Structure 1
Amino acid sequence: MDIRDLDRRAGAVLGEVVMQVRTEQLWFPTPCPDWTVRGLLRHVVSQNEGLAAAAQNGSASFRTWNGGRLADNPAGAYRRSNVRVADAFADGGALDRLVEVREFGSFPRRIALTFHQLDCVVHAWDLARAIDVPYNPPPDMLELALTLARRIPDTDANRGPGYAFERGVKVSGTSSDLDQLLGLLGRNPDWVSPLD
């Protein structure tokens, strides 16, 4: 499996949801308690820009990781930032080179892409749920994301406010793989917008 291809496809899957966001939905709440749809889109664009810069330079500034701008075209901003990620990782056999990922530390580029793929899969659900559109990620993307999520420690030392993920949410052992993934990453699979 080429993680670059899987990541490109995950970015495209997220992009399909982003394309469905209407202007009036930008202020809708999301399953991410601190973000509206616009805030979540800005986060995704910022993360893409930070990862692309870090992949090219070994690291990126705090400002780059957090400075994504949507202007009046969030879908266009996402598309451009997603292309930057794909271009930054397009160089052949450089997947073992280290890249600094925000405050989380340095990882081989292949691991950074695996985390990015996980983010794409989960944030696509966040957006889809917020704007009430269907979302069914491809099984191979879901499998890799679930495998990674099971490896992320669920302790107060690395989960909760200020961290990338909330503490896990208990879901039934017979739940779908997507619901298990969401629960592992602190999302309630039954989340319903307060606007409904």
Structure 2
Amino acid sequence: MDVRTLHRATVDRWQQLLDGVPENAWEAPTPCTEWDVRALVNHVVGEELWLPPLLSGMTIAEVGDRFDGDLLGTDPKDAGRRAADAAVTSGDGVADGDRVQLSYGEEAATEYLMQLAADHLIHGWDLAAASGQDRGLDPELVEAVAVWFRDREELYRAASIIGPRGTLTSDPAADLLAAFGRATEWSPG
């Protein structure tokens, strides 16, 4: 699957889940123990907002602190929708040779899109689990992210970006979640 298509599909799924968050769930815990639902959504919205300026050639220093703090305001779903639309529009314009400046240095823009696609897929599961929605993951998206993540898992773990690996099964979605440090049986209660 083309990285732009993968990115768009994971953002679309994230947005469906965000639209389905019940009003009483914003303070619910998530599998990301440091975040409640609102903080998780704020994190993903922040990632989406970073994409357009970085793809346009700006550096992290040039972007500065404009995406720090609360990005959701009084209407988290609308803020999420606007950020997702901007991210998809920018992501769709990425060419295979494009480069981007990230916190760790210069990177292929397609690699950055893969990172964001994985973030949307896994945090989409987090959001579904925390807000009582369908936790199912699209098998095509799982396969694409799993293939990409195999060579990056230990790097992510060493950088403390993900937690310890969970128990592996024969289910590709459960195994991908385990690779990202998630327990499929997690519940907010």
TM over 0.5: yes
Shift of 1:62: 4.7
Report the CA distance between 1:151 and its aligned residue.
Answer: 1.6
TM-score normalised according to structure 1 size? 0.86
Partner of 2:100: 99
For CA contacts below 8 A with separation 6 or more, give which structure has more relative contact order. Answer: 2
- By how many angstroms is 1:2 displaced? 2.5
Query: Distance in 2 between the 1:172 and 1:87 partners?
Result: 36
- 2:162 aligned residue: 165
Task: Provide the aligned length of Structure 1 versus Structure 2.
Answer: 187
Give the root-mean-square deviation of aligned CA atoms: 2.0
Q: Percent identity?
A: 23
Distance 2:156 2:140 in 1: 30
The question of whether the paired residues in 1 share the 8 Å contact of 2:54 and 2:100 is answered with yes
Cα distance in 1 for partners of 2:185, 2:7 equals: 27
Shift of the alpha carbon at 1:192? 1.4
d(CA) in 1 for partners of 2:156, 2:173: 24
Q: Deviations over 1:66-94 (max 9, x none)?
A: 456101111111111111112223336x3
- Aligned equivalents of 2:138, 2:156: Cα separation in 1: 32
Structure 2 residue runs of 5 or longer lacking an equivalent are none
Q: Does residue 1:27 correspond to 2:24, yes or no?
A: no
Q: Aligned equivalents of 2:99 and 2:156: distance in 1?
A: 27
Question: Which residue of 144, 165, 183 maps to 2:178?
Answer: 183
Is the 2:128–2:134 Cα contact (8 Å) retained in structure 1?
yes
Counterpart-to-counterpart distance in 1, 2:30 and 2:104: 24
Q: Which residue of 1 aligns with 2:59?
A: 59
Judging changes above 3 Å, is the alpha-carbon distance between structure 1 residues 21 and 52 closer, same or farther for their aligned structure 2 residues?
same
Name the structure with the higher helix share. Answer: 2
Deviations 1:27-61 (A, max 9, x none): 00000010000000000000111122211124333
Q: Kindly provide the CA deviation profile for residues 79-126 of structure 1, in whole angstroms up to 9, marking residues without a partner as x.
A: 11111112223336x33221123x243211111111111111101100
1:12 aligned partner: 12
Aligned mates of 1:29, 1:127 — CA distance in 2: 10
Q: CA deviation at 1:24?
A: 1.5
Q: 2:43 and 2:143 mapped to 1: Cα distance?
A: 24
1:72 partner SS: coil
SS, match of residue 173 in structure 1: coil
Report SS of the residue matched to 2:154. coil
Which residue number corresponds to residue 71 of structure 2?
Answer: 69
CA distances 1:111-168 after superposition (whole Å, capped 9, x unpaired): 11111111111011000000111132222211011112222243697243xxx22232
Distance 1:66 1:57 in 2: 20
Q: 1:126 to 1:71 in 2, by over 3 A?
A: same
Q: Does 1:116 align with 2:111?
A: no
Taking structure 2 as the reference length, the TM-score comes to 0.89
In the alignment, which residue of structure 1 is the partner of 2:85? 83
